[in-house]
Amino acid sequence: MVESGQDYRGLGCGFELCAFPFAINLPPMNQHLFALAAGGLGALLAFTGCQTGRDLPSAAAPPGEMRPLITTRPATEKEMLAAAAAKPPAPVEGEGWRTLFDGKSLAGWRVTDFKEGGSVELKNGLLVFQMGEPFVGVNYTNEIPKANYEVTFEAMRVAGSDFFCGLTFPSGESFCSLICGGWGGSVVGLSSLDGADASENETTTFINFENGRWYRIRLRVSETKIEAWIEQKKVADVVTTGRKVTVRFGDIEMSEPFGIASWTTSAAFRDIKLRSVKGPADPTR
């Protein structure tokens, strides 16, 4: 006989058969089958969340209290730029640097007149490029040496998937561009050498650039070489004697003689400096 109120906690769920206010008279075999069925039901209820007769887990919220869901989302452009501006620039080695961008105005610069170009803004002391279709950029309006100089600055990709920094600069009587993040976001190199652009010549390299991260870029141009670094990595070391050095054909030519541009990408820049030097950093290569 199975009686109402019989406890089957040991069979998988802390519950009592209290639905029957009377004794159930069953043959012994049927009583055994009934007990097994009740135990299976208890296990099923336990698996699906039955907690009758048990304490709630300690991680559960108290009754009436809602626990907030923890979610993550990408930083907005405003948040990204504010966080980036709060980080101090990486120190620059050497002496004799002069500042080209004061962080307060576009004094000494003009917005490059690219067709359907994006906008150029000053935010939190940063020079910010809003994505163009495809170009956006600025030109330096004061004199730049043709050789024996070094320029450095910090650059950051904010959004987009192509080059966030195209630095066009004088090299003797011609011009060249250092491309950072081109051809889908990772190609680095000089455009152009003997007619081959940054994705096709010996300077081609790949860097996995991160949005919202500052990269210290440094370029050195002497009478015989072009050298460039991103962070501590040397990305270009080219003897220019006897080489055809040019800017890639197209709108990027509007960045001559000295300018910074990006392609379908938003970017930010700061701490732009220049100094005179004597010869290449590594004259032996």
Residues 28 and 115 in one domain: no
pLDDT mean across residues, the chain: 83
Amino acid identity of 126? L
CATH classification of the domain holding 86: 2.60.120.560
Cα angle vertex 162, ends 120, 100, to 5°? 40
Residues 227 and 122 in one domain: yes
**Residue 63, pLDDT score:** 59
Residues 227 and 105 in one domain: yes
Higher local confidence (pLDDT), 31 or 210:
210
Is residue 118's pLDDT more than 80?
yes
Output phi, psi for 258, to 5 deg: -145, 115
Nearest residue to 90 (alpha-carbon basis) of 164, 152, 31: 152
Residues 113 and 202 in one domain: yes
Q: How far is CA 251 from CA 121, 125, 189, in A?
A: 21, 28, 18
Residues 112 and 224 in one domain: yes
The answer to whether residue 53 sits within a structural domain is: no
CA distance 223 to 167: 18
Residues 26 and 142 in one domain: no
**Residue 75, pLDDT score:** 84
CA distance 225 to 230: 17
Per the CB < 8 A criterion, the answer to whether 201 and 193 are in contact is: yes
Amino acid identity of 41? L
Is residue 7's pLDDT more than 60?
no
Residues 6+ apart with CB under 8 A from 272: 99, 100, 101, 127, 151, 152, 153
Lowest mean pLDDT among 8-17, 143-152, 241-250: 8-17
User: What is the residue range of 24's domain?
Assistant: 6-47
12: left (phi over 0), alpha (psi -120 to 50) or beta: left
Q: Binning pLDDT at 50, 70 and 90, where does residue 266 land?
A: very high
Question: Into how many domains does the chain fold?
Answer: 2
3-state SS, 112-138, equals CCCCCCCCEEEECCEEEECCCCCEEEE
Task: Give the DSSP H/E element, type plus range, for residue 163.
Answer: none
pLDDT digits (tens, 9 = 90+) for 60-104: 555 556 565 566 787 899 999 999 999 999 999 999 999 999 999
The answer to whether residue 17 sits within a structural domain is: yes
Lowest mean pLDDT among 32-46, 128-142, 194-208: 32-46
Residues 25 and 81 in one domain: no
Computed on alpha carbons and rounded to an integer, the radius of gyration of the chain in Å comes to 34
The answer to whether residue 261 sits within a structural domain is: yes
The answer to whether residue 151 sits within a structural domain is: yes
The answer to whether residue 55 sits within a structural domain is: no
Residues 92 and 39 in one domain: no
46: left (phi over 0), alpha (psi -120 to 50) or beta: alpha
Residues 12 and 137 in one domain: no
The answer to whether residue 70 sits within a structural domain is: no
CA distance 260 to 165: 6
**Residue 69, pLDDT score:** 59
**Residue 113, pLDDT score:** 95
**Residue 66, pLDDT score:** 59
Mean pLDDT of 150-171: 97
Higher local confidence (pLDDT), 213 or 49:
213
Output phi, psi for 103, to 5 deg: 80, 0
The answer to whether residue 83 sits within a structural domain is: yes
Is residue 50's pLDDT more than 60?
no
Residues 41 and 93 in one domain: no
**Residue 284, pLDDT score:** 77
**Residue 232, pLDDT score:** 92
Q: Binning pLDDT at 50, 70 and 90, where does residue 10 land?
A: very low
Output phi, psi for 271, to 5 deg: 55, 50
Mean pLDDT of 256-284: 96
Residues 212 and 110 in one domain: yes
Amino acid identity of 9? R
Residues 129 and 176 in one domain: yes
Please tell me what DSSP assigns to residue 64.
T
Is residue 212's pLDDT more than 50?
yes
CA distance 271 to 34: 81
The answer to whether residue 124 sits within a structural domain is: yes
pTM of the model: 0.75
CA distance 34 to 85: 72
**Residue 73, pLDDT score:** 80
